[in-house]
Amino acid sequence: MSDHFATNLKLACSHYRSISEVCRQLSINRAQFNKYLSEQSRPTAYNLKRIGDFFGVEDYELNQPPEQFARLIGARIPSEQAGSATDPISELFKPLHAQAGNLSRYCGYYFEYSNCMSVPGTILVSLVHLREERGSFLFERQERQERSSASDLHAEVRCRYLGAAFQLQDRMFLIDYESLTLNEMSQTILIPSFKSRITRLNGLKTGVSSGDRRNPACTRVVWEFLGEEINRINAYRQVRLYRPDDPRIDDDVRERLSVGPLSNGLFEIE
Protein backbone atom coordinates (compact mmCIF):
# COMPACT_ATOMS: atom_id res chain seq x y z
CA MET A 1 0.00 0.00 0.00
CA SER A 2 1.37 3.43 -0.96
CA ASP A 3 2.05 6.36 1.36
CA HIS A 4 -0.91 8.20 -0.22
CA PHE A 5 -3.59 6.16 1.54
CA ALA A 6 -3.86 8.29 4.71
CA THR A 7 -3.96 11.56 2.72
CA ASN A 8 -6.66 10.24 0.41
CA LEU A 9 -8.67 8.84 3.32
CA LYS A 10 -8.66 12.27 5.01
CA LEU A 11 -9.85 13.90 1.79
CA ALA A 12 -12.67 11.37 1.37
CA CYS A 13 -13.76 11.89 5.00
CA SER A 14 -13.88 15.66 4.47
CA HIS A 15 -17.06 15.14 2.42
CA TYR A 16 -18.87 14.11 5.63
CA ARG A 17 -19.87 16.08 8.69
CA SER A 18 -17.38 14.31 10.96
CA ILE A 19 -15.01 11.37 11.30
CA SER A 20 -17.40 9.97 13.89
CA GLU A 21 -20.18 9.80 11.30
CA VAL A 22 -17.92 7.88 8.90
CA CYS A 23 -16.88 5.44 11.65
CA ARG A 24 -20.48 4.93 12.73
CA GLN A 25 -21.68 4.12 9.21
CA LEU A 26 -18.67 1.88 8.57
CA SER A 27 -18.98 0.20 12.00
CA ILE A 28 -15.25 0.66 12.51
CA ASN A 29 -13.83 1.61 15.90
CA ARG A 30 -12.92 5.33 15.99
CA ALA A 31 -9.57 4.70 17.68
CA GLN A 32 -8.64 2.15 15.01
CA PHE A 33 -9.78 4.49 12.23
CA ASN A 34 -7.63 7.28 13.68
CA LYS A 35 -4.62 4.98 13.30
CA TYR A 36 -5.40 4.70 9.58
CA LEU A 37 -5.56 8.49 9.31
CA SER A 38 -2.30 8.99 11.19
CA GLU A 39 -0.51 6.20 9.26
CA GLN A 40 0.08 4.21 12.44
CA SER A 41 -1.54 1.13 10.91
CA ARG A 42 -3.05 -0.14 7.68
CA PRO A 43 -6.53 -1.65 7.30
CA THR A 44 -6.92 -5.34 6.66
CA ALA A 45 -8.00 -6.39 3.17
CA TYR A 46 -11.54 -6.83 4.51
CA ASN A 47 -11.71 -3.34 6.03
CA LEU A 48 -10.05 -1.83 2.96
CA LYS A 49 -12.82 -3.26 0.79
CA ARG A 50 -15.47 -1.90 3.17
CA ILE A 51 -13.88 1.57 3.14
CA GLY A 52 -13.69 1.56 -0.66
CA ASP A 53 -17.33 0.48 -0.99
CA PHE A 54 -18.41 3.19 1.46
CA PHE A 55 -16.74 6.00 -0.50
CA GLY A 56 -17.65 4.47 -3.86
CA VAL A 57 -14.07 3.85 -5.00
CA GLU A 58 -12.00 0.77 -5.74
CA ASP A 59 -9.35 -0.47 -3.33
CA TYR A 60 -6.47 0.47 -5.62
CA GLU A 61 -7.88 3.98 -6.19
CA LEU A 62 -7.35 4.82 -2.50
CA ASN A 63 -3.61 4.59 -3.14
CA GLN A 64 -3.46 6.92 -6.13
CA PRO A 65 -1.50 10.21 -5.96
CA PRO A 66 -3.59 12.76 -3.99
CA GLU A 67 -4.08 15.07 -6.99
CA GLN A 68 -5.47 12.20 -9.06
CA PHE A 69 -7.65 10.96 -6.20
CA ALA A 70 -9.03 14.47 -5.62
CA ARG A 71 -10.15 14.61 -9.22
CA LEU A 72 -11.57 11.10 -8.95
CA ILE A 73 -13.96 11.99 -6.13
CA GLY A 74 -14.81 15.36 -7.63
CA ALA A 75 -13.10 17.48 -4.97
CA ARG A 76 -12.42 21.03 -6.09
CA ILE A 77 -9.06 22.61 -5.39
CA PRO A 78 -9.62 26.12 -3.98
CA SER A 79 -8.30 28.95 -6.12
CA GLU A 80 -8.36 32.72 -6.03
CA GLN A 81 -10.73 32.68 -8.98
CA ALA A 82 -13.25 30.29 -7.42
CA GLY A 83 -16.54 32.06 -6.78
CA SER A 84 -15.14 35.30 -8.17
CA ALA A 85 -17.74 37.93 -9.00
CA THR A 86 -16.21 38.18 -12.48
CA ASP A 87 -16.81 34.49 -13.21
CA PRO A 88 -19.37 34.59 -16.07
CA ILE A 89 -20.86 31.19 -15.24
CA SER A 90 -21.47 32.17 -11.61
CA GLU A 91 -23.02 35.44 -12.75
CA LEU A 92 -25.23 33.58 -15.22
CA PHE A 93 -26.72 31.33 -12.52
CA LYS A 94 -27.24 34.02 -9.87
CA PRO A 95 -30.88 34.69 -10.86
CA LEU A 96 -31.63 30.96 -10.50
CA HIS A 97 -30.30 30.94 -6.94
CA ALA A 98 -32.53 33.91 -6.13
CA GLN A 99 -35.68 32.35 -7.62
CA ALA A 100 -35.14 28.68 -6.72
CA GLY A 101 -37.32 27.11 -4.07
CA ASN A 102 -36.24 25.25 -0.96
CA LEU A 103 -35.41 21.58 -1.58
CA SER A 104 -34.57 20.75 2.05
CA ARG A 105 -37.37 18.20 2.38
CA TYR A 106 -35.91 16.25 -0.55
CA CYS A 107 -32.38 15.98 0.86
CA GLY A 108 -31.17 12.43 1.37
CA TYR A 109 -30.36 9.31 -0.60
CA TYR A 110 -32.22 7.85 -3.56
CA PHE A 111 -32.06 4.91 -5.92
CA GLU A 112 -32.44 6.25 -9.45
CA TYR A 113 -34.03 3.81 -11.92
CA SER A 114 -33.64 4.57 -15.63
CA ASN A 115 -33.57 2.80 -18.98
CA CYS A 116 -29.85 2.48 -19.66
CA MET A 117 -28.73 4.70 -22.57
CA SER A 118 -25.59 2.62 -23.21
CA VAL A 119 -27.17 -0.84 -23.00
CA PRO A 120 -30.73 -0.61 -24.40
CA GLY A 121 -33.14 -3.12 -22.94
CA THR A 122 -31.68 -2.94 -19.43
CA ILE A 123 -32.53 -0.92 -16.32
CA LEU A 124 -29.75 1.02 -14.63
CA VAL A 125 -29.95 1.54 -10.86
CA SER A 126 -27.83 4.44 -9.59
CA LEU A 127 -27.27 5.90 -6.12
CA VAL A 128 -28.02 9.63 -5.67
CA HIS A 129 -27.23 11.82 -2.67
CA LEU A 130 -28.94 15.24 -2.59
CA ARG A 131 -27.64 17.62 0.06
CA GLU A 132 -27.73 21.29 1.06
CA GLU A 133 -24.48 23.22 1.22
CA ARG A 134 -24.34 26.92 2.13
CA GLY A 135 -27.82 27.58 0.81
CA SER A 136 -27.36 25.64 -2.44
CA PHE A 137 -28.57 22.14 -3.24
CA LEU A 138 -25.95 19.81 -4.69
CA PHE A 139 -26.08 16.14 -5.57
CA GLU A 140 -23.85 13.22 -6.45
CA ARG A 141 -24.96 10.30 -8.61
CA GLN A 142 -22.95 7.07 -8.81
CA GLU A 143 -23.32 4.53 -11.61
CA ARG A 144 -21.69 1.16 -12.15
CA GLN A 145 -21.97 -0.97 -15.28
CA GLU A 146 -20.32 -4.30 -16.04
CA ARG A 147 -18.06 -4.48 -19.08
CA SER A 148 -18.82 -7.02 -21.79
CA SER A 149 -15.17 -8.04 -22.11
CA ALA A 150 -14.14 -10.68 -19.61
CA SER A 151 -10.46 -9.94 -20.31
CA ASP A 152 -10.59 -6.52 -18.61
CA LEU A 153 -8.64 -6.34 -15.37
CA HIS A 154 -11.39 -4.20 -13.80
CA ALA A 155 -14.54 -5.61 -15.38
CA GLU A 156 -16.84 -2.67 -14.81
CA VAL A 157 -17.36 0.94 -15.81
CA ARG A 158 -17.93 3.36 -12.95
CA CYS A 159 -19.24 6.92 -13.33
CA ARG A 160 -19.64 9.70 -10.78
CA TYR A 161 -21.83 12.70 -11.66
CA LEU A 162 -21.73 15.96 -9.69
CA GLY A 163 -24.42 18.57 -10.09
CA ALA A 164 -26.78 21.23 -8.77
CA ALA A 165 -30.54 21.10 -8.19
CA PHE A 166 -33.14 23.86 -8.44
CA GLN A 167 -36.88 23.97 -7.81
CA LEU A 168 -38.49 26.44 -10.20
CA GLN A 169 -42.24 26.78 -9.73
CA ASP A 170 -43.59 23.21 -9.70
CA ARG A 171 -40.64 21.29 -11.17
CA MET A 172 -37.21 20.12 -9.98
CA PHE A 173 -34.33 20.76 -12.41
CA LEU A 174 -31.03 18.94 -11.96
CA ILE A 175 -27.93 19.42 -14.12
CA ASP A 176 -24.70 17.48 -13.69
CA TYR A 177 -21.42 16.43 -15.31
CA GLU A 178 -19.39 13.21 -15.27
CA SER A 179 -16.49 14.08 -12.96
CA LEU A 180 -14.13 11.20 -13.76
CA THR A 181 -13.84 11.65 -17.52
CA LEU A 182 -15.33 15.16 -17.97
CA ASN A 183 -16.83 14.04 -21.28
CA GLU A 184 -20.57 14.46 -20.75
CA MET A 185 -23.38 16.31 -19.01
CA SER A 186 -26.98 15.33 -18.31
CA GLN A 187 -30.18 17.02 -17.21
CA THR A 188 -33.03 15.57 -15.17
CA ILE A 189 -36.47 17.10 -14.61
CA LEU A 190 -38.54 15.64 -11.77
CA ILE A 191 -42.12 16.23 -10.64
CA PRO A 192 -42.10 17.11 -6.92
CA SER A 193 -44.08 15.10 -4.40
CA PHE A 194 -47.06 16.83 -2.83
CA LYS A 195 -47.50 14.11 -0.22
CA SER A 196 -46.31 14.49 3.36
CA ARG A 197 -43.97 11.51 2.90
CA ILE A 198 -41.63 11.28 -0.08
CA THR A 199 -41.53 7.82 -1.69
CA ARG A 200 -40.95 7.98 -5.46
CA LEU A 201 -40.48 10.84 -7.92
CA ASN A 202 -41.11 10.61 -11.68
CA GLY A 203 -39.32 12.48 -14.44
CA LEU A 204 -37.20 12.50 -17.57
CA LYS A 205 -33.43 12.51 -18.08
CA THR A 206 -31.45 13.51 -21.15
CA GLY A 207 -27.86 12.54 -21.74
CA VAL A 208 -25.45 10.80 -24.08
CA SER A 209 -24.89 7.10 -24.66
CA SER A 210 -21.39 6.07 -23.65
CA GLY A 211 -21.09 3.91 -26.75
CA ASP A 212 -18.92 4.79 -29.72
CA ARG A 213 -21.70 6.77 -31.42
CA ARG A 214 -22.46 8.88 -28.31
CA ASN A 215 -26.01 9.48 -29.46
CA PRO A 216 -28.10 11.96 -27.43
CA ALA A 217 -30.86 10.07 -25.66
CA CYS A 218 -33.81 10.60 -23.33
CA THR A 219 -35.23 8.18 -20.78
CA ARG A 220 -37.93 8.08 -18.16
CA VAL A 221 -36.52 8.09 -14.66
CA VAL A 222 -37.76 7.17 -11.18
CA TRP A 223 -36.15 8.33 -7.92
CA GLU A 224 -36.90 6.15 -4.89
CA PHE A 225 -36.26 7.82 -1.52
CA LEU A 226 -34.10 5.72 0.82
CA GLY A 227 -33.65 8.09 3.78
CA GLU A 228 -31.51 10.91 5.07
CA GLU A 229 -28.94 8.44 6.45
CA ILE A 230 -28.40 4.98 4.97
CA ASN A 231 -25.93 2.12 4.91
CA ARG A 232 -23.97 3.28 1.88
CA ILE A 233 -22.12 -0.01 1.55
CA ASN A 234 -25.30 -2.04 1.17
CA ALA A 235 -26.85 0.55 -1.13
CA TYR A 236 -23.79 0.74 -3.40
CA ARG A 237 -23.83 -3.04 -3.82
CA GLN A 238 -27.22 -2.68 -5.55
CA VAL A 239 -25.88 -0.14 -8.08
CA ARG A 240 -25.70 -2.05 -11.39
CA LEU A 241 -27.56 -3.02 -14.56
CA TYR A 242 -30.68 -5.21 -14.29
CA ARG A 243 -32.81 -7.04 -16.82
CA PRO A 244 -36.37 -5.62 -16.94
CA ASP A 245 -37.77 -8.93 -15.68
CA ASP A 246 -35.37 -9.11 -12.73
CA PRO A 247 -37.48 -9.73 -9.58
CA ARG A 248 -35.49 -7.02 -7.77
CA ILE A 249 -37.20 -4.44 -10.03
CA ASP A 250 -40.78 -4.19 -8.82
CA ASP A 251 -43.79 -3.82 -11.10
CA ASP A 252 -44.43 -0.20 -10.10
CA VAL A 253 -40.95 0.92 -11.18
CA ARG A 254 -41.15 -1.15 -14.37
CA GLU A 255 -44.48 0.46 -15.29
CA ARG A 256 -43.27 4.00 -14.54
CA LEU A 257 -40.27 3.48 -16.84
CA SER A 258 -42.27 2.09 -19.75
CA VAL A 259 -45.54 4.04 -19.94
CA GLY A 260 -46.15 6.82 -22.45
CA PRO A 261 -44.99 7.62 -25.98
CA LEU A 262 -41.30 6.74 -25.52
CA SER A 263 -40.56 3.32 -27.04
CA ASN A 264 -39.42 1.03 -24.23
CA GLY A 265 -38.92 4.16 -22.16
CA LEU A 266 -35.84 5.18 -24.20
CA PHE A 267 -35.67 7.61 -27.09
CA GLU A 268 -32.40 7.94 -28.99
CA ILE A 269 -31.71 10.80 -31.40
CA GLU A 270 -29.89 9.88 -34.61
Q: Taking the complete model, does pTM exceed 0.85, yes or no?
A: no
Residue 154 CA neighbour count, 13 Å, CB half = 10
pLDDT of residue 78: 44
Does 148 have pLDDT greater than 80? no
For residue 8, the tally of other CB atoms under 10 A from its CB is 23
In Å, what is the CA distance from 186 to each residue of 19, 166, 178?
A: 32, 14, 8
Which residues are registered as beta bridge partners of 240? 125
Which residues are registered as beta bridge partners of 156? 146
Q: Tell me how far apart the terminal alpha carbons of the chain are, to the nearest angstrom.
A: 47
Over residues 109-136, mean pLDDT: 92
pLDDT of residue 76: 43
Give the tens place of pLDDT for each residue, 24-42.
888 899 999 999 999 899 9
Mean pLDDT (the chain) is: 84
Distance CA 74, CA 80 (A): 19
User: Predicted confidence band at 215 (pLDDT cuts at 50, 70, 90)?
Assistant: confident
- In degrees rounded to 5, what are phi and psi of residue 181? -110, -20
Please report the domains of the chain, with CATH numbers, ordered by start residue: 5-72 (1.10.260.40), 88-268 (2.40.128)
What would the DSSP string read from start to end of the chain?
--TTHHHHHHHHHTTSS-HHHHHHHHT--HHHHHHHHTTS----HHHHHHHHHHHT--GGGGGS-HHHHHHHTTPPPP-TTTT-TT-HHHHHHHHHHHH----GGG-EEEEEEEE-SSSTT-EEEEEEEEEEETTEEEEEEEEEEE-S-TT-SS-EEEEEEEEEEEEETTEEEEEEEETTT---EEEEEEPPP-SSS--EEEEEEEEE-SSTT--EEEEEEEEEEEESS--HHHHHHT-EEE-TT-TTS-HHHHHHHH-SSSGGGEEE--
pLDDT of residue 196: 81
User: Predicted confidence band at 75 (pLDDT cuts at 50, 70, 90)?
Assistant: very low
pLDDT of residue 188: 97
| Closest-CA residue to 190 (of 182, 178, 198) | 198
Which residues are registered as beta bridge partners of 131? 138
